[in-house]
Amino acid sequence: MQARVLARLRDDGPLSKVQLADRLAVSRTTIAVEVARLGELGLAQDAGPAASRGGRRSTMVDLAADIRFLGVAIGATGLSVGVTDGRLGLLAVRERPCDIRQGPEAVLAIALEVAREVLAEAGVDKPLGAGIAVPGPVDFHRGVPVSPPIMPGWDGYPVRDALSRELGCPVVLDNDVNALAVGEQHAGVARSVNDFLFVKIGTGIGCGIVIDGELYRGVDGCAGDIGHIRVEDGGPQCACGNTGCLEAYAGGAALAREANALARSGRSTALADLLEQRGEALTAADVATAVSQGDPESLRLMRESGRRVGQVLASLVSFFNPGLIVIGGRVTGLGHALLAEIRAVTYRNSLPLATGSLPIVVSELGDEGGVIGAARLISDSVYAVDERL
């Protein structure tokens, strides 16, 4: 009951007791008792009389105004930390470049430093809880990364418990795509959608799965690991150790690798020029620059990447019949060509029944989605615990 009341107030905003009773299909007496209890715990508060609908006036209820959560989104090359209120509105947020390959001690020290800065900025002494997202597979129940391909040194490191000790509050650890998915569900384009996929195309590729409004994690917690679907036997080496993975063809790292090869071989003069100007290895963003300059090889590369992603998405559409696909991650900043190809190939290779009303859209939130999502994951956990911690 507590979790359901608090989730409604979080997701729907302030509600009268009558509205709460209606939405949760329980009696008004039950709601009155529960709201009083939540008030004593410091989780909810009266918010004045409701607008009259005739008859006796109901009282508005809101989340306690002083609830604060911390959301930490760690990526391959940078991290974002934000402070939210109980409804997951961002009060302060900061980013910091940071290489995940420095290992957990160094990266978590930076995360904590940024966390203390944003907490101070928002005037928060201690948050009610913190959510943290990392770019790799996670054992959600143990709060540790599990064999994360692009996170050397993190395997089995007690991220959740280490942060919980430092911050003095409960912490949940999840992977970045799950956080992005629930962030988008809370505050982005997937709001009010109950069954959707969030596909992140960054350095790597992954997928968050929301079924009936809830994250689906799979039996071992590794559902959505679509970056390592093998799209071709043989094929290029992947960071995971296998060959021919989607990520090895279509992720940001793969685009960058191909771009450098095209530049060095001279097959693309546009990329060769960019390489000379930069004086260091090209990135996926350089491919987008070359596309905007009309470089045919870069356009071919981008389209080929989109085609591979689209082929995998088409099979997921046939299997899963989602209501919406949200594309997010750094690669979405690369312009129209990639997304157009993903859409075209996905629609062309799926059954008409499954794609008749299937929007494929770009994330509205960008990096902030991970911070909001991480905050939402800890709010789910904190709101479900029957005592204020």
Residues near its own copies (CB under 8 A):
137, 146-147, 195, 207, 209, 211, 216-226, 228-230, 240, 242, 311-312, 314-316, 318-323, 349, 351-354, 356-358
CA separation for the pair 75, 133 (Å, rounded): 8
CA 7 to chain CA mean position, Å:
19
Q: Cβ of residue 118: shortest distance to its own copies, in angstroms?
A: 33
144 near 160, Cβ under 8 Å? yes
Helix (H) or strand (E) holding 208: strand 205-211
Q: Cβ of residue 322: shortest distance to its own copies, in angstroms?
A: 6
Pick between residue 148 and residue 252 the one whose CB is nearest to its own copies.
148
Pick between residue 10 and residue 200 the one whose CB is nearest to its own copies.
200
Pick between residue 277 and residue 357 the one whose CB is nearest to its own copies.
357
Pick between residue 14 and residue 323 the one whose CB is nearest to its own copies.
323
Q: What is the number of other CB atoms lying within 10 angstroms of the CB of residue 387?
A: 7
Q: Cβ of residue 222: shortest distance to its own copies, in angstroms?
A: 5
CA distances from 332 to 129, 206, 252, 256, 326 (A): 31, 14, 10, 15, 11
Q: Cβ of residue 100: shortest distance to its own copies, in angstroms?
A: 19
One-letter amino acid for residue 20 of the chain:
L
Contacting residues for 179 by C-beta, under 8 A, at least 6 apart: 71, 73, 131, 133, 208, 369, 370, 373, 374, 376, 377
Pick between residue 8 and residue 216 the one whose CB is nearest to its own copies.
216
Q: Cβ of residue 364: shortest distance to its own copies, in angstroms?
A: 21
Secondary structure (DSSP) of 175-191: EHHHHHHHHHHHHSTTT
Pick between residue 83 and residue 207 the one whose CB is nearest to its own copies.
207
Q: What is the number of other CB atoms lying within 10 angstroms of the CB of residue 135?
A: 26
Q: Cβ of residue 275: shortest distance to its own copies, in angstroms?
A: 32
| Element counts in the chain: helices (H) and strands (E) | 14, 15
